[in-house]
A and B are shown apart, each in its own frame.
Chain A
Amino acid sequence: MTAALALGDDALVLSHRLGEWAGHAPVLEEEVALANIALDLLGQARVLLSLAGDEDELAYLREERAFRNVQLVEQPNGDFAQTIARQLYFSTYQELLYERLARGTGPFAPLAAKAVKEVAYHRDHAEHWTLRLGDGTDESHERMRRGLDALWRFTGELFEPVEGCEVEWHTLHDAWLTRITSVLERATLAVPEGPRRGGWAAGAGRQGIHTEPFGRMLAEMQHLHRSHPGATW
């Protein structure tokens, strides 16, 4: 199931990155909020990966090239602004995608219908922080701008059709861009310019082509499980 892996890996990997914030967040309320989002995503990942096989085998025993997540979600946390930029881009996309999947009759409709409520909160959380950081202090404005710019080149991949997801990707993209533009305007930030994808013809995350930090993330995530082959936990 290509789609279950693609959507499941998106959720799994972003959840992992958000989990790295535990104990490092800028304020106690954000320890709770980031963990909450990470937990929602992990819950989604477990349902989706279970549609494709055994959740733990898929998470812990696949090699880097077999992961189908978009490159956006595997990007390191950076500072809080970069984490928020990643979340804004992704949650806006995920909400629009899940709204459409929930209305359909495909295998993801039940999950999407439940998850879309969670994702609406993730998107709302990211929008509020985008506003606070964009329209906060000079420093926060600059950091938010840098975060948005740095991740802009990973946003094109979000709208590459995923086999098995019956959605109109063009209209999804247009809705995404409208929404992002409106939030950034309110946050006194400009929509980044520049390419939305890399120039490498081999493709990107959906083709199993990832960025260098991803291998290290997997090494950390998988090492204990792989050190005890066949063990149950």
Chain B
Amino acid sequence: MTTMAADAGAYEAVFDAALAADERIEPRDWMPDEYRASLVRQMAQHAHSEIIGMQPEANWITRAPSLRRKAILMAKVQDEAGHGLYLYSAAETLGTSRDELLDKLHSGRQKYSSIFNYPTLTWADVGAIGWLVDGAAITNQVPLCRCSYGPYARAMVRICKEESFHQRQGYELLLALSRGTEAQHAMAQDAVDRWWWPSLMMFGPPDDASAHSARSMAWKIKRHSNDELRQRFVDICVPQAESLGLTLPDPELRWSEERGHYDFGPIDWDEFREVLRGNGPCNAQRITQRRRAHEEGAWVREAAAAYAAKHGEAQA
């Protein structure tokens, strides 16, 4: 064994011991290359999801039907930009710059959550996104507050607080529609019908088909399996849908005494794969808008850099 290999072995032992003791790994700590790469991949995908996720909701800012709702929606979209900022910063602690990650998003080499490839067709979709999509995101993300990588875990604590606020606002928006006029109730039901199944897909493929799951769990980046989290989400949503006075579009949904959970029908994984592959209703539109905003903003970023260079100012 060479000295270097022996050193690496010693570092790895320290890393493994930290994981075993549920301690946080910090940016300056030694970590396996694959651990680093896996974290960057996950944090980047999360950051990209936040900024792409602004689009379907921003679609309704200019049409929000009351000033109160408009303020809530603007604040929510702003929070998402803020989450993108924290997450790109957290990824920078692993030595990967925001520019590099954005470049990978724009060129299709990194992904964002497929849920944002669905369109927001009515105002009620804003509520359905809050209730279901943010609800699913929280179910996924709360365990990340205990993720083994310190900067990611800390960013998630703040993000989860804001997300749970968004989820309540979405629920409240749908409740107002459900209890409103007949047309408003129908709008709410239609939105829930369209967003339910895509929300269940947000937890990713079934455990036996998930590419990164086992390793991420061993590294304590991930704490629960996709199927466990999906079941948890369904169990939370069913009684909430009843309180909303809305139905969920699954005839097989029923309480199982035996399992102590709700049973639900099969998920259309063909649709999931198609949307993931780029064939969803909005994949092209989302990435085109993102690229355009970036390209059209190039002269602004160049100006800020030139000014900073001339005046020794810290860059914006």
Contact = CB atoms under 8 A, between A and B. Distances in A.
B74 to A, nearest CB: 5
Contact of B70 (A29, A42, A49, A133): A42
Given A39-B78, A140-B299, A20 B62 contact: yes
Interface in A61-80: 79-80
Contacts of B70: 19, 42
A223 interface: yes
Given A32-B78, A38-B74, A26 B293 contact: yes
A55 B55 contact: no
A183 to B, nearest CB: 14
A75 to B, nearest CB: 16
Nearest to A38: B74
Contacts of B307: 131-132, 135-136
A39 B62 contact: no
A35 B78 CA distance: 6
Contacts of B68: 46, 233
Contact of A221 (B62, B294, B298): B62
A223 B63 CA distance: 7
A137 B307 CA distance: 8
Interface string A63-100: 00000000000000001100000000000000000000
Nearest to A24: B293
A25 interface: yes
A26 B66 contact: no
A1 B90 CA distance: 50
Interface residues of B, number: 52
Given A23-B55, A24-B289, A31-B54, A136 B62 contact: no
A80 B297 CA distance: 8
B276 interface: no
A199 to B, nearest CB: 32
Interface in A31-63: 31-32, 35-36, 38-39, 42-43, 45-46, 49, 55-56, 59-60
Contacts of B244: none
B303 interface: yes
A12 B71 CA distance: 11
Nearest to B286: A23
Interface stretch (B13-21, B104-112, B138-146, B176-184): B176-184
Contacts of B311: 135
A35 B77 contact: yes
Given A31-B54, A46-B71, A220-B63, A228 B181 contact: yes
Given A137-B299, A224-B65, A232 B176 contact: yes
Interface stretch (B79-87, B203-211, B245-253): B79-87
A146 interface: no
Counting chain A CB atoms within 10 Å of each CB, which of B68, B176, B308, B316 scores highest? B316
A36 B311 CA distance: 27
A99 B301 CA distance: 33
A37 to B, nearest CB: 10
B306 A137 contact: yes
Chain A contact-residue range equals 35 or more
B300 interface: yes
A173 interface: no
B88 interface: yes
Contact of A143 (B58, B298, B299): B299
A25 B293 contact: yes
Given A135-B310, A228-B183, A233-B69, A36 B78 contact: yes
A140 B68 CA distance: 36
A133 B293 contact: no
Interface in B261-316: 289, 292-294, 296-304, 306-308, 310-311, 316
Contact of B316 (A16, A80, A132, A140): A132
11 contacts: A23-B58, A29-B316, A31-B78, A42-B67, A60-B65, A135-B310, A135-B311, A140-B303, A224-B64, A225-B66, A233-B68
Interface of B: 51, 54-55, 58, 61-71, 74-75, 77-78, 81-82, 84-85, 88, 98, 123, 173, 176-177, 180-181, 183-184, 289, 292-294, 296-304, 306-308, 310-311, 316
Interface of A: 12, 16, 19-20, 22-32, 35-36, 38-39, 42-43, 45-46, 49, 55-56, 59-60, 79-80, 128, 131-133, 135-137, 139-140, 143, 220-221, 223-225, 228, 230-233
